[in-house]
A and B are shown apart, each in its own frame.
Chain A
């Protein structure tokens, strides 16, 4: 078990990729805090983990709210006493052309996708610094590199996460904390189905160079690797997991 007795907080852990990460880390021996805006769904993932015989806690959180993130950190420390791994997976994916975009949608995207990274890191980094170890893994996106029409706010927020990760990696390297990003391609989750027909989603999933449908578990695997001791010399990187769709 690669993550035995580690404590991992996974924002956006109630569904899709976040849920796969939570279950994957639990199977590797970590205690999991499933942090999500959808409290009930977070509860059911935490129960799923407990049923497998592992420690888990569900916390309802809005990662764009300072007080809510403070509550997440306090609950985590009260329950498990420490944090070893922070996975910033919470995010939203709104659709709008630039000219039709409301300021509210722009702000919401950046507050949650980018601001959530900042607030969660700020809340958990002091404890990692004190113990001179920690792993932070943030979810960026291939769209942060290649852009996508009608998703300019999302693309900008994901590219910004990559810049944030690199800067934070430089800040925290001397304390033995690594900070990396994973950039998934289009995955077989609920998120892309919010804006596309089932046919469009399947067409995208099957049009990758590699004849392999990108599943949440495919994203979770590299994240488990980055969280493990095997990746102790890796920081400031943004690794693409996309069946060959885009090669940086």
Chain B
């Protein structure tokens, strides 16, 4: 039986690219996204390329929805080998004192709490299997910080520390937990706000001379599911063209 990968935020951008990569490698991919139509689109693309995929809806900030999702996936496939928590985003760019409490919580919950809720539901399944790979998503801003993105930077730094703690908790069961930290990446959501040309000008200091593509990140997520990464846990993998070297 092929490996089963559950990918939150799999409906587009980096999550969509990760879904495509894992499906092309023979995994059964469950695309879970807030935007069901987007998840369905990626599912259709994977299916027409000969891959196996399901599209399910989830709001990762809602305990009840996350529980229902994981029960659904477990009942369909009986196992979860890979959990990739890619749902999230910065949502706002504004000064700290302009954030309302509700907005602050929205950003923290979509990124950090959503990661916790998904891990809490999936970890027991992996513990029973005595195997599993959990891939969380941070950001270079989780290390450097970013003006006008205080809650996002805090949430991403939180994910890095959460990953290390969870890696230590789950290591005895042979479960690996790592974080992928994208740098500036040309996702459709980002390109709606800024053209690729403008972004390349803004990011002209990137040593490799270009912004990232979702596929660049997908390769790292995939690598962290393979036997080649069997001795790696609790680490943060920056994929950013060299713009941040922590």
Contacts and interface: CB of A to CB of B under 8 A. Distances in A.
Nearest to A212: B231
A174 B209 contact: yes
B212 A233 contact: yes
B234 interface: yes
Interface stretch (B4-12, B84-92, B168-176): B168-176
B235 interface: yes
A172 B241 CA distance: 12
Most buried by B among A172, A214, A236, A241: A236
Contacts of A240: 232, 235
Contacts of A176: 208-209
B241 A221 contact: no
A246 to B, nearest CB: 8
Contacts, number: 109
B134 to A, nearest CB: 13
Interface stretch (A55-63, A66-74, A224-232): A224-232
Interface in A209-243: 209-212, 214-215, 218-219, 221-222, 224-225, 230-237, 239-243
Most buried by A among B172, B234, B236: B234
Most buried by A among B206, B231, B242, B246: B231
Interface string A85-113: 00000000000000000000000000000
Contacts of B237: 237, 239
Contacts of A173: 206-209, 241-242
B238 interface: yes
Contacts of A215: 231
A247 interface: yes
Interface size class of B (residues with CB under 8 A): 35 or more
A15 interface: no
A213 B30 CA distance: 32
A117 interface: no
B167 A209 contact: yes
A48 B246 CA distance: 38
A178 interface: yes
Given A210-B176, A224-B228, A233 B213 contact: yes
A242 B235 CA distance: 10
A145 to B, nearest CB: 11
B223 A225 contact: yes
Interface of B: 164, 167-168, 171-172, 174, 176, 206-209, 212-213, 216, 219-220, 222-223, 226-242, 245-246
16 contacts: A169-B242, A176-B208, A209-B171, A209-B172, A212-B230, A221-B229, A222-B228, A230-B223, A232-B216, A233-B213, A233-B240, A234-B238, A239-B235, A243-B171, A248-B236, A248-B246
Given A210-B231, A247-B235, 19 more contacts: A166-B245, A169-B242, A173-B206, A212-B230, A212-B231, A221-B227, A225-B228, A225-B229, A231-B219, A234-B239, A236-B207, A236-B242, A237-B237, A237-B238, A239-B235, A239-B237, A243-B233, A244-B167, A248-B235
